Amino acid sequence: MSLVGVIAFYFTYTLVLFSIIAILYTFGLWSRRFSVAISIQRIWKLGAEEMNRLIRGNSIDRMHFAIVVGLLLSIAFALLGPALPYLLPLLYLMLALTLPAIAGLLLSLYWRLQLLNKSDRLNRKLNGSKEMIFNSKKLQVILIVVIVFTIAQLIVEWITGFEWLANLLDATKNLFIAIYYARPSINLIKNFDRPITKVQLPFELKKIQSGEVDAAQVKVGVDKIGELSSDAIASCDSCVEIGACEAACPATATGRLLSPRVLVRKVSVLKESNGDDADPFKEILDDEVWSCTTCGACVYSCPVGVDHLGLIYQLRRTMVEKNRLDQKKSSLLMNLMQGGNSMGLPNYARNSWIKDEFGISEAREGKPFEYLLWVGCMPSFDERSRESVRSLLKIVREAGLSDKLAYLGDEETCCGDPARRLGEEGTFQNYALTNIEIFKKYGAKKLVVLCAHGYNSFTNDYISVDSSMKGIKVYHESQLIEELIEKGKIKLKKANEDVTIHDPCYLARYNGVVEPQRLILSSASNLKEPQQSGERTFCCGAGGANYWYDVPEEKRISHERLDQLSATGAKVTVTLCPFCNSMLNDASSVKMNGSMKVIDLSQFVEEHLDKNG
C-alpha cells in the first residue's frame, strides 16, 4: 500500500473510531433520559427474543435481521481493519457472511423503496400536514441511505486497496445511527418484553368509591399533547418509519383511515412543532382512532418497541369524555351502563336455557363446584353462538364432569371488555369490581370461558383492578378440552378432512395460547395453517369494540381474513371466540354463499368425539 493509501486508511479508521464513540455516547445519553439500565443480561435477553422472532417471523422480520447483521458486520470490518490481514481465517469467514447479508439488504432496499412510494400516498390520504409528510420522508430516506451505505461497504470489503473507502462509508453510516437510531434502540431495550396486555389505568375506581380519591380531581383523556403519558410520547418520538406496524395492520390492509405509522408521526410532529399545548385532534382524524381493532399486530411487529395501543386508548378516552360518539357507539355504552350486557337485550334469565337443556347447577353459596362457566354476552343472547356452549357442555358431560360445573345465571353480566376498548374506563372497572365480588362470593377458583376477550379480561385486565384475581385459574375452552384429552376423560376419532384455524388476537397474540387448539385439531383432522396464524394471526375485525360500529373502509376486515383462510384449500374454519365466529360466518354467507363452514372449536370436538373409545 502506498504512503497516501496508508494515510487515507488510518485517517478514515480514526473517523470510524470517533463515529463508534458517538454511537456509544448517544446510547448512554438516551438510556439516562429513558431511565434504562443497560446490562449484559438485558442485552442477552433481547438477543434471545430477537432470535425467537426471526425463527417464527415473517419476511419483514428477516429483512430487519439482515439489516442488523449487515450493520454489525460493517462495524466489525472497520474496527478489525488493521488486524484482519493477520487474521486470514476470520477475514474469510466475515467475507463469506457478507454474501447472505448483502442479499438480505438488497431485498430490504427493494421493500423500503416500495414502502416509500406507498407511504407517501397514505400520508396524503390521512391528511398529514406538510411538516409531517416531510419528516416521514426524511426518516425513510435516511434508512434507505443507511442500507445503501452498508451494502456498498460490504461490497468494497472484497476489493483490495479500497479499505479507506469502506471506512469512510462506515463512519458516515455510524453517524446516522448515532443521530437517528440510538433513541429507538434504547426504547426497544426498555420495552421489548413489555406485555402487550398492559393498559394504563387513568384512575382506580375502587379508590374513588372508597373516598380515597376525589372524583373531581380525576383526569380522563387528553386535551393536549403534553397530557399523553411519558411512555406514549417516548414511543412516538422513537418511531423511525420502519413500517412493520403498517404492514401488519388489518385496518391499513383493508383501506380504513388508519396507519399506525402515520398516527405516531402526527403526534411526534405536533409535539415538536406546537409544544405540549397542541391539540392532538388538530391532525388526528376521528376515524383514525375508531378504525383500530386493538388487535396488537402493530405493537407486536414493531422492531423498536413503539406502543401504538396506549396512544389509541388515551385518544378514545378523550372522545368518550367529550361525547364525540355516533349513535352506535353511544348505544353500546348505554347498553353496558343500563342493561348489563353489550347486546342491548334484557339481562333477565339470560342463561336459563342452560339449566333447561343440561341440568347444570346454578352457582349457590355453600354449594361446591370445580369450574365456573362464564357464558359471555354473545352466546347468552345469540342462538348461533349458543351452539358452541351446548357443544362444550356435551363434551363436559361426556367427560363425566357435569356435576363439577356451575354457571351464574342472572348474576352474569358483561366482562367489561367492550367498554374498556371503546374508551369508557369507568364502566369497565365497575363491571370488573362487581364480577370479582361475585367470584369471591362463590369461592370460584377455576373459570371457563369461550370468548377470547373475556379470557384476556379475566387473565390480565382484572388483575390490575383487584390482585385477588391472581388466585383464579382461567381456562379457555381449548385449554380445558386439551386437559380432558390428556387425562383420558374424552377421546377423539380421526377424520380425513382438511380444516383451517382462525386464532383470535386476544387469545393468541395477547396471551400466547396457540398450542392446545392445534394439538386438538391435528389429532382429529388434517390441519391447514393460514399464512398468518398463531401469534401473527390476522384480525377478524370485531376487536376494539368494532363489532358494534362501522367505519369507512374499502374492504371488510372479516372478508380479507376469510380470503386468507380460503387460500388454505380447507372448507372448514375452526374459530375460538364467539365474535370471530360471528364475523367469519357472516363473511362466508355474503362472500362465499356459506361454502366455507365456520364452527367453534367445541363444535368441532363434539363432532369428533369417540364415544366408543
DSSP string, 212-250: SS-GGG---S-SSGGGS-HHHHHHHHH-----HHHHH-H
- Where does the pLDDT of residue 451 fall: very low under 50, low under 70, confident under 90, or very high at 90 and above? very high
Q: What is the pLDDT of residue 356?
A: 66
Q: Please count the other Cβ atoms lying within 10 Å of the Cβ belonging to residue 286.
A: 15
Q: Which residues pair with 528 in a beta bridge?
A: 500
Q: Which of 413, 434, 402 has its CA nearest to residue 351?
A: 413
pLDDT at 57 over 80: no
* Residue 282 one-letter amino acid: K
pLDDT at 484 over 60: yes
Place of cell 414502502: 115
Instruction: Return the higher-pLDDT residue of 39 and 602.
Output: 602
Tally DSSP H helices, then E strands, for the chain: 29, 9
Q: What is the pLDDT of residue 1?
A: 56
Distance CA 344, CA 537 (A): 30
Q: What is the pLDDT of residue 520?
A: 97
- Where does the pLDDT of residue 238 fall: very low under 50, low under 70, confident under 90, or very high at 90 and above? very high
Distance CA 441, CA 443 (A): 6
* Residue 460 one-letter amino acid: N
Query: Where does residue 433 rank: exposed (0-12), middle (13-18), buried (19+ CB within 10 A)?
Result: middle
**375-401: pLDDT as tens digits:** 999 999 998 999 999 999 999 999 999
- Helix pair angle (383-398, 477-486), 10° resolution: 20
Distance CA 144, CA 124 (A): 21
Q: What is the pLDDT of residue 594?
A: 84
Q: What is the pLDDT of residue 582?
A: 97
Domain range annotation of the chain: 3-191, 205-324, 327-613
Mean pLDDT in residue range 192-215: 90
Q: What is the pLDDT of residue 322?
A: 93
Return the CA Rg of the chain.
27
Q: What is the pLDDT of residue 139?
A: 94
What CATH number does domain 205-324 carry, 3.40.50.1220, 1.10.1060.10, 3.40.640.10, 3.90.1170.50?
1.10.1060.10
User: What percent of the chain shows pLDDT beyond 70?
Assistant: 99
Q: Which of 299, 282, 289 has its CA nearest to residue 246?
A: 299
pLDDT at 457 over 80: yes
Quick one: residue 224, left, alpha or beta (phi over 0 = left, psi -120 to 50 = alpha)?
beta
Answer positive or negative: Cα dihedral of 295, 298, 299, 300.
Answer: positive
Q: Which residues 6+ apart lie within 8 Å of 320 measured at CB?
A: 221, 333, 422, 423, 424
